[in-house]
Each structure stands twice: as structure tokens, then as C-alpha cells.
Amino acid sequence: MHTHIIKAGAAGILVGGLAVMPAHAQSSKLDTVVKRGQLICGTDNTKPGFGYLNPKTGKLEGFDVDYCHAVAAGVLGDPSKVKMVALTDKNRFNALQNGEVDVVFFHTTITATRATVVGAAFLPVNFYDGTGVLVKKADKIGKIDDLNGGTICTTQGSTTEAVWADYIKGHKWDPATQVLTYQDLDKLFAALNTGRCNAMTTDKSALVGWKGNAPNPDDFDVLAETISKEPLAGFVRQDDNQWRTALTWIAYALVQAEEFGITAKNADEMTKSQNPDIQRFLGVNGDVGKSLGLAPDFAKTVIKAVGNYGEIYDRNIGPDTPYGIARDGSQNDLWTRGGLMYSPPFR
């Protein structure tokens, strides 16, 4: 897939020479995106495995990037009709509220404040995570308490800042303990490497990504402890229920397809299934797609474009990638295998 990457601005971005601004409340973003013929998706470009500008290929790739393509496929029928906007932890919410992007998939934790004060309307959880710590093996830091009195670094505008403030206070750590913040993970990892920080801290999956992508992965350790719950999800603005509902069911379709055993390769063949649930899901029968403002076979289009949830997971962060994030028996496994990945019925 050919992906265009641009940097977020302050008041809007140019698409085909035209400034794209927030849609009026009475007009759904769904109509706007269809009329424009292109999805504008905010994501990261510094998180290996999730949203990462691969220096070897020059392409933006990852788990969150695939969700952008999934939405483009579901809404526009073509996964390539998407413009990626590179955001940061600090500006991702403003970029959405300012109308610079239509949706954001950026390794973002659902919190009460973000769902109220910040004004984010979250889509279904697509990855269950938690705050962890990455250290250099040479520093011989074996557990989180070894960082008491040291310097811990994370990204600006992330939930990790608040998590650590609470942790340090709750555990009565030495007041000399410092939490320094950096604009993005590139700068954060550099600070760890140069010794400015004793530890780099963010969601564990991102830490595993940076360790796996390092020139010498064995020089680093991700500590075993997890100190918070971080359910990650994409998000849209709160003033457009139709847009949120359509994207919610596109996200659910990825999980449901895996449960049904529908893959990118067999999606067409599965339309011949005699299972009424699968027929309805793939748009052979029923009007689920129409009620969402999408094509009757939107789910089939999405799965053919990016695969089901398991395919997205394995391709970007699974056992055969440098990151090797285990899924079997974890929270990110299907509910039928003891995990938390669960889709409501498509009826």
C-alpha cells in the first residue's frame, strides 16, 4: 500500500490544495470523508510495531497504521485512500478537535478524563497493555524499586506521566526521584542510551518494540513488572455519533472475522457459507452495512484489505516479528481462548 505522510499543523491541512477544516455538527464526518474520497488518519511514526516510519523501507507501518487502512477500506472501499498525519503524544487530541484528522490510532489509553474533559470518543479496545520500564542491562536494574531516587523518562502528554507521579507518591519514594519528559520516543530512547535517564517508561508493547528494533537488543531489558492498566483504542470526536458508530463496527469486524475463521485469503470463499451469521457478517444477507451508512459487504472489503485481528497482530507485533509479543492466553487473545477480544453480534 502506498502511504503519504505529512506533519500536523495548527489550523488545518491541505488535501488537493484545499484546506480541510472541522465538519459542521449537522454533517456527519462519514459524509465528508466519502465526498472527499480520502480518509485523514492520525497516527504515530516513532513506535516500532504500531506506528513507525521504517528507515529501511521509507514506509509507515504497524498495527495502528493497519487500523487506518481498515477504516479506509470500510468507508471508501479502498485501503489505499488514506493520508497519514504524523502526530505526537502532546498534539494528538488537539489535531482531532481542530479537524486536522478524521480519526486517530495512536497507541492511546482510554481514561475518564480523556472521555470527558478532552472530548475523545473512543472506539473498541484494540490492545490491552500496561506501563512498563526499559533499562540498559549494564546498569544492573532488576526491579522497579531499584529506580528509587533515580531519573525516569517518558513522553510529554502521555498517561505515563500521571502514572509515575502517583506511583512515586504512593510508594513514598525519595523526593530526589526525577521524571523527565521528551517530545517523542526517538528522543526518549536517545536519552536512555546517553545515560540521561536510568529508565525509559511507557506502554510495555512500545518498549518491546524499541528493544526489538535496537541495533543490539540484548543490551536492554524490559522489566517484568507492570504498574498500570492501559487499554488502547482509536478515537474520534464526540459530536458525531454516526461516524463513531461506523468506525466502532469496522473495528469489531476485525475481531469477529477472526472468530469466524475469515481471513484475507478466504473472505471471498466464505461468502458461500451456509451459516446465517457469516452470511449476514459478509453482507450476503441482511442490512447491517446499510444501517451503518456503509456498503453491504464492508466487512469483507476490510478483511480482504488488512486481514482479521489476528492477522494484523501477527504481521506487526507477533511471534515472528522482532518484537515477539505473545498473544496466546493473553488479554489480547479471543474470548474463546481466554482473552478479552470480543465482538458483539452482527445482527
User: 147 and 125: one domain?
Assistant: no
Cell of 205: 508493547
Which residues have CB under 8 Å from 157's CB, separation 6+? 88, 89, 90, 91, 92
The closest of 90, 93, 112 to 101, measured between CA atoms, is: 93
Does residue 52 share a domain with residue 193?
Answer: no
CATH number of the domain where residue 312 is located: 3.40.190.10
Identify the pLDDT of residue 1.
52
How many residues would you count in the chain? 347
40 in helix, strand or coil?
Answer: strand
Under 8 Å between Cβ of 141 and 135: yes
Based on the fold, state whether residues 114 and 144 are members of the same structural domain: no
Residue finishing a domain among 192, 212, 228: 228
Residues 242 and 186 placed together within one structural domain of the fold? no
> Given 195, 228, 261, which residue is the final one in a domain?
228
The pTM of this model reads 0.85
Asked whether residue 267 falls in the same domain as residue 277, the answer is yes
Total of domains in the chain: 2
End-to-end CA distance of the chain: 32
Look at residues 182, 208, 228 and tell me which one is the last residue of a structural domain: 228
The grid coordinates of residue 34 equal 466519502
Q: What confidence score (pLDDT) does residue 26 get?
A: 57
The residue range of the domain holding 172 is: 131-228
Considering the domain boundaries, does residue 90 fall inside one?
Answer: yes
> For the CA atoms of 48, 53, 59, 60, what is the dihedral angle to 10 degrees?
70
Q: Over the stretch 48-81, which tens digit does the pLDDT of each residue have?
A: 999 999 888 888 999 999 999 999 999 999 999 9
For position 27, what pLDDT does the model report? Answer: 79
Residue of 279, 140, 146, 275 whose CA lies nearest to 219: 140
> Within 10 Å of residue 259's Cβ, how many Cβ atoms?
19
Contact 74, 250 (CB under 8 A): yes
Residue ranges of the chain with pLDDT lower than 70?
1-26
Residues 76 and 216 in one domain: no
Q: Specify the pLDDT at position 20.
A: 38
